[in-house]
Amino acid sequence: MPVPQHIFEPPFNIIRSSHVVLDVTDLKLSREFYETIVGLHVEDADDKIVYLRAAEEHQHHSLVLRKAAVPACARLGFKVGNDGDLDKAAAFLSENGLAYAFVDQPFQGRTLQFTDPFGFQIELYASMDRRPHLLRRYDLYRGCHPQRLDHFNVFAAEVQDTVDFYARLGFRLTEYAEEDGPNGRIAAAWMHRKGNVHDFAITNGKGPRLHHFAYWTPTAMNIIHLCDVMASQGFVKNIERGPGRHGISNAFFLYVRDPDGHRLELYTSDYFTGDLDHEPLRWSLRDPRRQTLWGAPAPRSWFEQGSPFSGQAVREPKFVADVLVAD
């Protein structure tokens, strides 16, 4: 399948991934997990919703937990350059036959919400309430000392079409996994806006579903420390995969599941991709180093389980990728 061309003048300017909104069934338990175990900081909360952020972030929130009857991903949030980009986004969506709405969201400026052609529920904003960052408030550090939200990864039923759509929005491909042979299909793609490996990763599978969202940590030792914290606090079963190092992105990683099964990655050590002539790196789908540089394959749950988007039907993928799975 074709690798998309970089577009340097997109119809509107997305700056970076910003925040995720999750529906959770036990708000108190989920808050405790993200605040006490992982180490995010609560900015505002009531009995229906909790807003959290990481130490380096000036923005009011990067994770929103909403009390709900069933767990789901409600929205993925991206920051745009300025308020005018919201109007440009609205024009682009209208020209392409996609419904959208401007909505009022607490602690955010004017916010545009839409569902893309593949069922992913997105919101865009230019401004959010500011908070002093907590980078030097080491007395407040907990868990793995998360610094900032880094990226989202989704299961897409139509990988190539999804990649092509987001390439039109200026997301640039950094790495991809492809079947071998002359007719090999792209099974996963890592795309960025902010100059590292990815803001948005698109993975073949039943979709639309959220695979995971990720926070950056200062060092690999912070990630290892989180394993100790989770083990000592009774969350051993919530450690799904790692710690390890991906071949793709070079990241040192750990995947954990929250009390509702939403998947969170803790992540460090990827690399700069901001040069305009940066070329995407291809990985064979059968290369064991792409999943883990040390050769260990991912568990079956990592390929099969994810968080549905609220109100969106989950579709079978156009093809089933032949991936390496741990026994």
Tell me the pLDDT tens digit for each residue of 67-96: 999 999 999 999 999 999 999 999 999 999
Residue-averaged pLDDT of the chain? 96
Dihedral-angle region of residue 212 (phi above 0 means left; psi in -120 to 50 means alpha; beta otherwise): beta
What does the pLDDT average to over 191-207? 97
Least confident of 70-74, 169-173, 291-295: 291-295
> Is the preceding omega at residue 208 within 30 degrees of 0, hence cis?
yes
pLDDT tens digits, residue range 96-112?
Answer: 999 999 999 999 999 99
Pairing of strands 121-125, 72-80: parallel
Sorted by where each begins, the domain ranges of the chain are 14-132, 148-308
The CA distances from residue 60 to 12, 44, 128, 131, 148, in Å, are: 23, 9, 7, 6, 12
Query: How much is the pLDDT for 179?
Result: 94
Least confident of 146-150, 254-258, 288-292: 288-292
Query: How much is the pLDDT for 15?
Result: 98
Q: How far is CA 163 from the centre of its chain?
A: 15
Q: State yes or no: pLDDT of 324 exceeds 90.
A: no
pLDDT tens digits, residue range 30-70?
Answer: 999 999 999 999 999 999 999 999 999 999 999 999 999 99
Give CA–CA dist 65/27, Å, rounded: 7
Query: What residue type is assigned to position 258 of the chain?
Result: D
Give CA–CA dist 200/149, Å, rounded: 12
Confidence bin at 1 (pLDDT 50/70/90): low
What does the pLDDT average to over 220-246? 97
Query: How much is the pLDDT for 322?
Result: 87
pLDDT tens digits, residue range 307-318?
Answer: 999 999 999 999
Structural class in CATH, domain 148-308? alpha beta
What does the pLDDT average to over 290-310? 94
How large a percentage of the chain has pLDDT more than 70? 99
Q: State yes or no: pLDDT of 132 exceeds 80.
A: yes
Confidence bin at 263 (pLDDT 50/70/90): very high
pLDDT tens digits, residue range 137-151?
Answer: 999 999 999 999 999
Question: pTM higher than 0.95 for the full model?
Answer: yes
Homologous superfamily of the 14-132 domain (CATH): 2,3-Dihydroxybiphenyl 1,2-Dioxygenase, domain 1 (3.10.180.10)
Q: Tell me whether domains 14-132 and 148-308 share a fold.
A: yes
Query: How much is the pLDDT for 12?
Result: 98
Q: Cβ(78)–Cβ(14) under 8 Å? A: yes
Q: State yes or no: pLDDT of 2 exceeds 90.
A: no
Q: State yes or no: pLDDT of 177 exceeds 90.
A: yes
Q: State yes or no: pLDDT of 223 exceeds 70.
A: yes
Q: State yes or no: pLDDT of 326 exceeds 90.
A: no
